[in-house]
Structure 1
Amino acid sequence: MNPWVKLLRPENALMAIIATFISGLISLGTDILSRWFILSIASLSVILVMLGGNAMNDLFDIESDRINHPARPLVTGKITINSAKISIVISFVASILIAVFFISYISGLLVILAELLLFSYEYSLKRSGLPGNIVISVLVGLIFIFGGIAVNHFYRMIILFFLATLSNVSRELIKDVEDMSGDFDRLTFPKRYGKNSALILSSLFIGSAVVLSLVPYFTGLFSIYYLIPLAFCDVLFVVTAVLQFKSATLAQKSSKISMILGLVSFAVGGLS
């Protein structure tokens, strides 16, 4: 795999693109076809923010990644430190310009906010434990807000913002448990309060997300067809809550699948 593609984390980038288009689908229904260009532009802006953010992450984490993620491009030397620094600047500036000139000034401000949060996270919040997990998860949720802004219907994305944020906090906690042995340079929640405390808190976030996932149906945002894929999503989330106590690695993977199923549920809800 090309090292720059690997730096982008293609599976995460694909989920971000899908989330952006799902925002448009929920807002516009089948009329989404008339706004495909602006949503594509919004997706490009999101990808550039992710590329810069991942490069920043790998720069700050290069030592711990030698243990936790030895195949990452900066660790292997396939991407140099200077190249990574240049990519951060280019990606962040380009994402702002794209948002401002093709979408709106508001979207540009949201991109700037996201980039400031990314920098704050890497510079200090990453080592703060739960606050860092929450910041990263808020950034995931902001993708839905950003997609909604692109088609002038961001208010319908607020519930999805909270759903994405809650479910991702759980996943971040599971990842911290998975990386406990290699996280020698930061005091994560499980290292500060213990593995079981982190997993119990993760379960609470999962439970909150499962309960909140029913709100779009009961408020009339989505039809009953939304509940069909949602059932599979929520069941797998519950399985994740149990599985994490046995294997954080498997739970992290099942959590990602659950989030993908959540995107499918949102897509079905937007079409129905």
Structure 2
Amino acid sequence: MEGIKGAFQIMRPLNGLGAAIGVLIGAVASGFLFTIEKNLFNVLICFLAAFLTASAGHALNDWKDVEIDKINCPERAIPSGRISRNTALILTIALFVVGDAIIFLTKNIQAILILLIGSVFIAAYSLKFKKLGFIGNITIGMLTSFCLLLGGAALDKIEFSLWAALLAFVMNIGREITKGVDDYVGDKEEGVKTLAVLFGRKKGSYLAVLFLIATIILSPLPYLFQLYNEIYLFIALGGVDSIMIISIILILKNPDSSENAHFVKRILKLGMFIGLFAFLLGFPGLLLPDSNPFRNITFPW
């Protein structure tokens, strides 16, 4: 019983469920509610595959960090002895293998490639990239966006989830850099090469601002490219961009403050959730008729 409990603890099923829900959001934002009967099987397979591979990543992370956890978190499953390190490694491999195998049931090359590439980056992050600061930030942004892309790929509608994934990627990098400013002292002691550690908290904060500005610039494009309706535009501009602007102002007022960065990091997470709702509710025909005036315009690009 202790072994089973330990296995669940290193898998962190709630975090894995978060990744799986990201797939579902990507699917709904790509029109899944209009094609449930046709695409239900593929969406369920992608949902389960994302859960398994994310859980594998969490287990691998605990396997890799066992020596650090013996000091900092001795109550965790491996250092406490509830599960052995060898068993944790076997569980990690099994989760990766099953997750990567079942995705082939979709017979969808986009979904297969997204999950397999994602699995490689999950493993790379736990084994190496986590300590490399900005590379780790980019990896987290990619993995977040991959969940959304996988949902769109399950429907062969990746062009819809692509915008959600791009905005999530850019905003997440800004948030991760801000998180590095917040964690500056601990990261410096642990030798984590965040931008804040390499260049100082102030420059790290300014770099985070660039990604938040990029999020604002990108936010109306899904509407202008005729993919989402006025509900998306209203939530994106009124909700997401407002939070981006508030975050930018707070950062610029006090770029050296870890406490300020901690607060900004939290409200940026709220901005991410609002952004997901924008894509969910703004799909054409879901709550409003397909009324985007740009839908009849051919753009030169």
Give TM-score, length-normalised by structure 1: 0.86
Name the stretch that deviates more: 212-221 or 3-12.
Answer: 3-12
Does the Cα contact within 8 Å between 2:118 and 2:143 map onto a contact in 1? Answer: yes
**2:31 counterpart SS class:** helix
Name the stretch that deviates more: 33-42 or 239-248.
Answer: 239-248
Aligned equivalents of 1:46, 1:163: Cα separation in 2: 20
Does the Cα contact within 8 Å between 2:77 and 2:83 map onto a contact in 1? Answer: yes
Aligned equivalents of 1:253, 1:3: Cα separation in 2: 30
Residue in 2 that maps onto 1:121: 125
**1:222 counterpart SS class:** coil
Which structure is higher in RCO with an 8 Å CA cutoff and minimum separation 6? 1
Name the stretch that deviates more: 92-101 or 28-37.
Answer: 28-37
Aligned equivalents of 1:235, 1:6: Cα separation in 2: 37
Q: CA deviation at 1:165?
A: 0.8
- Does residue 198 of the first structure (1) align with residue 204 of the second (2)? yes
Q: Return closer, same or farther for 1:194/1:153 CA change in 2, 3 Å cut-off.
A: same
Does the Cα contact within 8 Å between 2:13 and 2:55 map onto a contact in 1? Answer: no
Post-superposition CA distance 1:229-264 (Å, at most 9, x none): 322222223333344544333222222221111111
Name the stretch that deviates more: 142-151 or 231-240.
Answer: 231-240
Q: Return closer, same or farther for 1:3/1:157 CA change in 2, 3 Å cut-off.
A: same
Q: Return closer, same or farther for 1:247/1:124 CA change in 2, 3 Å cut-off.
A: same
> What is the root-mean-square deviation of aligned Cα atoms in Å?
2.7
Aligned equivalents of 2:262, 2:15: Cα separation in 1: 17
**1:27 counterpart SS class:** coil
Task: Say which of 255, 267, 282 aligns to 1:254.
Answer: 267
- Does residue 20 of the first structure (1) align with residue 33 of the second (2)? no
Residue in 1 that maps onto 2:192: 186
Segments of 5+ residues of structure 1 without an aligned counterpart are none
Name the stretch that deviates more: 242-251 or 216-225.
Answer: 242-251
Residue in 1 that maps onto 2:34: 31
Does the Cα contact within 8 Å between 2:111 and 2:154 map onto a contact in 1? Answer: yes
Residue in 1 that maps onto 2:55: 51
**1:247 counterpart SS class:** helix
The residue identity in structure 2 corresponding to 1:162 is L
Residue in 1 that maps onto 2:291: none
Post-superposition CA distance 1:86-137 (Å, at most 9, x none): 2210111111111012453442332221111222233333333212211221
Q: Which has the higher helix share?
A: 1
Name the stretch that deviates more: 4-13 or 256-265.
Answer: 4-13
Aligned equivalents of 2:248, 2:170: Cα separation in 1: 13
Residue in 2 that maps onto 1:236: 243
Q: Return closer, same or farther for 1:156/1:43 CA change in 2, 3 Å cut-off.
A: same
**1:190 counterpart SS class:** helix
Paired residues, number: 271
Post-superposition CA distance 1:25-81 (Å, at most 9, x none): 232253143233321221111111111112222333445557877765446555543
Q: Return closer, same or farther for 1:64/1:201 CA change in 2, 3 Å cut-off.
A: farther
Residue in 2 that maps onto 1:156: 160
Post-superposition CA distance 1:132-173 (Å, at most 9, x none): 211221121112221121111113322222111101111211
- Does residue 83 of the first structure (1) align with residue 87 of the second (2)? yes
The residue identity in structure 2 corresponding to 1:18 is I
- Report the identity percentage: 28
Does the Cα contact within 8 Å between 2:142 and 2:169 map onto a contact in 1? Answer: yes
Does the Cα contact within 8 Å between 1:110 and 1:146 map onto a contact in 2? Answer: yes
Q: Return closer, same or farther for 1:229/1:152 CA change in 2, 3 Å cut-off.
A: same
Q: Return closer, same or farther for 1:14/1:116 CA change in 2, 3 Å cut-off.
A: closer
Aligned equivalents of 1:160, 1:59: Cα separation in 2: 32
Residue in 1 that maps onto 2:147: 143
